Amino acid sequence: MGREDRSLGRRGSWITDDPVKNFEKWKRKYNKTKKIVKRVQKTTKKRDWEVERENIQKLVKKYSEINPKEAVKFSDFPLSKKTLKGLLEAQYRQPTEIQRQTIGFTLQGRDVLGAAKTGSGKTLAFLIPILECLYREQWTAMDGLGALIISPTRELAYQTYEVLRKVGKNHEFSAGLVIGGKDLKDESEKIHRTNIVICTPGRLLQHMDETATFHASNLHMLVLDEADRILDMGFTDTLNAIVENLPTTRQTLLFSATQTRSVRDLARLSLKNPEYVWVHEQAKFSTPATLEQNYVVCELHQKVNMLFSFMRSHLKKKIIVFFACCKEVQYLFRVFCRLRPGISILALHGKQQQMKRVEVYNDFVHKTSAVLFATDIAARGLDFPAVNWVLQFDCPEDANTYIHRVGRTARYKEGGEALLVLLPSEENGMIAQLQEKKVPINKIKVNPEKLVCVQQKLDAFLAQEKEQKERAQRCFVSYLRSVYLMKNKDVFDVFQLKLPEYAMSLGLAVAPRVRFLNKAQQQKSGVAQDDSGAAGRVSEDELKSFTAQLKGECSKSQSSQSEEEEEDDDDEEKESLKPAALLCGFNEEDEDDQKDLDLLTVKRKDVFNINEENAKAKNKKQKESKFTDAKKMQKKNFKVNTKKIFTEDGEVVQQWPPLQRAVVPDEEEDEETSGINMEAAKERLRKEDQEFDKIEYRRKIKEKHRVRLTEVVAYLSGADEEFDPSTLPDPDKVCNSESSEEEEGHSSDRGGKKRSFSSEDDDSDDEVQQTQVGRKKPRKESTATPLDTGLSLAEDEELVLHLLGSHS
Ligand code: ADP
Ligand code: MG
């Protein structure tokens, strides 16, 4: 047996009689085999990038098979796992129509001109292809600028950037927001290392012109969002210059809700064999189906009353009110805050500092009920969630502007309402334009007798405060100028406006002299005399040359006025110093009146929610206890502590709140003939502002030394945390060194919670040049800088006490 066993062992295998030996032998063999397997594996194992490349090839192969009609989910498109994951995490599952129809073409590398209604999801229609393009190219930080998105406004650029961070967070690309910055050099060092740049046209061209290192030779994709607006804003030359600097091999996408001839021209010139995707071309209407649109005809001098009445009857809504010009927003924002309509008011316009704009933007995004007073900078693209109403206080320039303004509500399947306020002289021309553009709008009526009249209160405010009066005057002149400069003379006829009544409705006793109008009037009548055949109309050429002249004047006066208009947060403080009776727009009696009124009667429907809101207000009133009444009364009598010191001569000097306007001595105003001596007022304001600017400048310089510079780099993959607007620079200061914009923008009707003291904070941002969003660490560093109000410790204490007081 032993022999047999041994022979078996020798013949058939290594197995012996000794189990221990057997085991050891087996172990040796096993280890040897394992080593061989490992070696083989090592030589055949693919590296990650190779796997990725294979995946990419698989995806690219599927591009030609894309069938948009069958695509129901995003995953039906050959998109990278990283993009799909990002979309899913951001709760985007099914593509919208514009996304469905364009994604295929864009993935295939085609140029696209995409048009779809407001709120239909155009942003993702270009962000997804950008992510996929760079993924396909296995783009890295070393490859530099790969995609460029140009937006007409800073707010839209910022919003797009936020969406990109959300959906692109699983990719490793870097993204930057280039909407201005002080040190172009510093910015340019980063811009070419940023993979996806979102910018406004002016700033980009500045880089192209002034930054030697800036080059976009690797650029793969160019996107123009709201392309027609970019062109309308006078950026045609800028755009042409930009496009000339980009490689012709790039892919170009143009998107907008409205198409103009200029966009088609641009498409013709800058797109190669483009695919025109007009999603709603066959649609019956050009505005969202869920949007209810009405208009009212209202005399100019009744508009303020109407707005106030509207706000009073929509206290729980989120509303955007569009105005024709910044100065209207500035003035009406101030006085409406004082009227205490019972709803928070915010203001957004181009004369605010960038930081303030971002702050207001974010604030309005997060509010559930508030009114945003805005100029057309808020008309394009902005996606404020859950806006209930868009009220157009002033007639839009044209039907396209109308469509974009109302497009701020009724976004992505949501409902919304829009009300357009037209002057009798604007009605026919504007409505004809809207009908031509397929806008379904109905006329409703307002009963003028039922409007709440706020004129007396405005009179009282203006009598109390010279600054307010000056604002009212600027508002008056600016509005007339904006009407005068409108191209469409069939709609906008400045000579038909009743100026004295309008002035009175703003609280002005006398209409300010408007020199350009007098001049235009003279020209007009002169031409009428010279040329009877022209039936009193100014010849086109003359009007053009005069308008050009005027525009020149305007831009000149604009820049000097931007100084004039410097407004600071102290103003809001000063409000609190006024006697309670004046401040309080609505005393108890008013409120009772308010409830009893059926405020505004309308023909078709209760647009102003009069019945509903009044009933609610009534119920609420009944529930109010004596305690809340007492609290209210207390609030009305609230006064801010003032700090006064005595000079050696025994003169009393107020130290806190600081009085800005005391720098230059007051001069008598000659208001007898024209209501106000504008020239003298301007001169005085200019002097005052110069003095104030000097003090401010010194303070800012000091502050700068305190600021620690932080370097920020943006990576999409680090995009989980909330964007910190303090990482944004203040571009206004760059482009317009003399511009010292006002700090207004916030008002909380309930005790002025949002008193803004951020101007000090804003200024401290001067040296953070790069507009990119940072990774967690550097950003934390920057936000950890304590808020410096620029005041002394004692003043700081006063400030804190005041804030605490106003919160209680
Ligand atoms: P547009 O640029 O066409 O005006 P946006 O891109 O701003 O529209 O999108 C409007 C809204 O629709 C945004 O709130 C966005 O989050 C939402 N949205 C876009 N695409 C989708 C989608 N596929 N699924 C769900 N919501 C979407
Ligand atoms: Mg958009």
Residue 714 · residue 176 · CB < 8 Å:
yes
Domain assignment present for residue 475? The answer is no
For 538-562, how does the pLDDT look when each residue is reduced to its tens digit (9 = 90+)?
344 444 444 444 444 333 333 333 3
Residue that is last in its domain, among 245, 278, 311: 278
CA 723 to chain centre: 15
Mutation pick for ligand 1 pocket among 411, 413, 414 (CB with most ligand atoms within 8 Å): 411
- Same structural domain for residues 253 and 387? no
pLDDT at 287: 95
Domain shared by 272 and 295, yes or no: no
Ligand in nearest proximity to the CA of 120: 1
Please indicate, yes or no, if residue 636 is contained in any of the structural domains: no
- pLDDT interval class at 269 (50, 70, 90): confident
Average pLDDT over residues 571-599: 30
Residues, the chain: 808
List the structure tokens of 84.
Answer: 């799909």
- Assigned domain for 631 exists: no
What percent of the chain clears pLDDT 70, i.e. is strictly above it?
62
Give the pLDDT confidence of 659-673 residue by residue, as tens digits: 433 333 333 333 333
- Give yes or no for residue 287 CB within 6 A of ligand 1: no
Whether residue 450 sits in one domain with residue 593 = no
For the stretch 222-265, pLDDT in tens is 999 999 888 888 888 888 888 888 999 999 999 999 888 888 88
Which one, of 52, 193, 221, lies nearest residue 131 by Cα? 221
The mean pLDDT value for 318-344 works out to 97
Based on the fold, state whether residues 347 and 237 are members of the same structural domain.
no
Residue 694 has pLDDT above 80, yes or no: no
| Residue 330, domain member (yes or no) | yes
Coil, strand or helix at 664: coil
Taking the whole predicted model, whether its pTM rises above 0.75 is answered as: no
Can you give the C-alpha Rg of the chain in angstroms?
Answer: 32
Task: Give 474-527 pLDDT, tens digit per residue.
Answer: 999 999 999 999 999 999 999 999 999 999 999 999 999 998 888 888 877 776
Ligand at shortest distance from the CA of 96: 1
Of ligand 1's listed atoms, the one at least distance from the Cα of 412 is 12
The secondary structure element, H or E, covering residue 114 is strand 112-115
Which of the residue ranges 26-35, 150-159, 510-519, 567-576 would you say has the lowest mean pLDDT?
567-576
- 89 and 35 inside one domain: no
Q: What CATH number should be reported for the domain holding residue 264?
A: 3.40.50.300
Nearest partner of 566 among 438, 661, 434, 669, judged by Cα: 661
pLDDT at 175: 94
Task: Give 740 or 295, the one with higher predicted confidence.
Answer: 295
Determine which residue's CA is closest to atom 1 belonging to ligand 1. Answer: 119
Q: Look at residue 672 in the predicted model and tell me its pLDDT.
A: 32
Q: How many domains does the chain have?
A: 5
Q: Averaging pLDDT over each range in 16-20, 29-33, 699-703, which range is the top one?
A: 29-33
The whole-number pLDDT of residue 192 equals 74
Ligand 1 site, residue 96, Cβ cutoff 6 A: yes
Q: For residue 221, what are the β-bridge partners?
A: 147, 251
Cβ(121) – ligand 1 distance below 6 Å? yes
Same domain, 186 and 272: yes
Instruction: Please indicate whether residue 570 or residue 361 has the higher confidence score (pLDDT).
Output: 361
CA of 236 to the centre of ligand 2 (A): 20
120 Cβ inside 6 Å of ligand 1: yes
Ligand 2 midpoint to CA 483 (Å): 28
Residue 669 CA neighbour count, 13 Å, CB half: 18
Distance 286 CA to ligand 1 centre (A): 17
Asked whether residue 20 carries a pLDDT value surpassing 60, the answer given is: yes
Whether the CB-CB separation of 237 and 264 falls below 8 Å is answered with no
Of 257, 278, 299, which residue sits at a domain end? 278
- Answer whether residue 126 shows pLDDT above 50: yes
Residue 9 has pLDDT above 50, yes or no: no
Q: Atom 20 in ligand 1: which residue has the minimum CA distance? A: 121
In which domain, by residue range, is 730 found? 701-781
Cα–Cα distance measured from residue 119 to residue 390, given in angstroms and rounded to the nearest whole number: 14
Nearest CA to ligand 1 atom 19: 121
Question: 114 in ligand 1 pocket by Cβ < 6 Å?
Answer: no
> What pLDDT is attached to residue 593?
30
Query: In this structure, are residues 441 and 291 in contact, taking their beta carbons and an 8 Å threshold?
Result: no
Does residue 542 sit in helix, strand or coil? helix
Residue 361 lies in a domain: yes
Same domain membership, residue 169 and residue 251? yes
Q: For tokens 């023909």, name the residue.
A: 603
Cβ of 123 less than 6 Å from ligand 1: yes
Minimal-distance CA residue to ligand 1 atom 4:
119
Stretch 325-351: mean pLDDT, rounded?
Answer: 96
Q: Which residue has the higher pLDDT, 49 or 11?
A: 49
Q: Which regions of 206-344 does DSSP assign to beta strands (E)?
A: 221-225, 251-256, 275-278, 291-297, 318-322
The answer for residues whose C-beta is within 8 angstroms of residue 643's C-beta and 6 or more apart is: 654, 655, 656, 794, 795, 798
Q: What is the mean pLDDT of residues 177-188?
A: 72
- Please tell me the predicted confidence (pLDDT) of residue 684: 56
Same domain assignment for residues 303 and 242: no
Instruction: Calculate mean pLDDT across residues 190-217.
Output: 85
pLDDT one-digit tens code per residue, 434-467: 999 999 999 999 877 778 999 999 999 999 999 9
- The answer to whether residue 560 is domain-embedded is yes
Residue in 388, 345, 350, 379 with CA at minimum distance from that of residue 364: 345
Q: Per-residue pLDDT for 133 more than 70?
A: yes
Q: How confident is the model at residue 183 (pLDDT cuts 50, 70, 90)?
A: low
% of the chain surpassing 90 pLDDT: 45
Same domain, 383 and 272: no
Residue 477 Cα, ligand 2 centroid: separation in angstroms? 33
d(CA 793, CA 761): 16
Would you say the CB of residue 119 lies under 6 angstroms from ligand 1? yes
| CB of residue 730 inside a 6 A radius of ligand 1 | no
Asked whether residue 645 is assigned to any structural domain, the reply reads: no
Short-list 10, 535, 453, 245, CA closest to 2: 10
Higher pLDDT, 587 or 32: 32
Rounded mean pLDDT, 169-176: 94
**118 CA from centroid of ligand 1 (Å):** 9
Residue 118 beta carbon below 6 angstroms from any ligand 1 atom? yes
pLDDT at 723 over 70: no
Quick one: average pLDDT of 75-88?
A: 97
Query: DSSP letter at 427?
Result: H
Helix, strand, coil proportions of the chain in percent (round to 5)?
Answer: 55, 10, 35
Q: Which atom of ligand 1 is nearest to the CA of 74?
A: 23
Which pLDDT belongs to residue 16? 77
Kindly report the protein residue whose alpha carbon is nearest to atom 16 of ligand 1. Answer: 121
Q: Is residue 808 included in any domain, yes or no?
A: no
* Last residue of one domain, picked from the residues 574, 599, 624: 599
What pLDDT is recorded for position 317?
97
Name the residue with tokens 């308008």: 547
Q: Does 521 lie in the same domain as 461?
A: no
pLDDT at residue 4, rounded to an integer: 45
Is the minimum distance from the CB of 728 to ligand 1 under 6 angstroms? no
**Which ligand neighbours the alpha carbon of 117 most closely?**
1
Look at residues 453, 451, 432 and name the one whose alpha carbon lies nearest to residue 441: 432
Taking alpha carbons only, the member of 292, 294, 300, 314 closest to residue 603 is: 294
717 and 777, same domain (yes or no): yes
Which ligand is nearest the CA of 123, by number?
A: 1
pLDDT band at 368 (very low <50, low <70, confident <90, very high): very high
Mutate which of 387, 408, 412 for ligand 1? The one with the most ligand atoms within 8 Å of its CB, which is 412
Reduced to 3 states (helix: H, G, I; strand: E, B; else coil), residue 669 is coil
Is the pLDDT score of 94 beyond 90? yes
Shared-domain flag, residues 198 and 105? yes
Q: Which of 99, 123, 280, 403 to mutate to test the pocket of ligand 1 (most atoms within 8 A of CB)?
A: 123
More reliable by pLDDT, 417 or 770: 417
Question: What is the overall mean pLDDT for the chain?
Answer: 73
Q: Tell me the pLDDT band of 193, cut-offs 50, 70 and 90.
A: confident
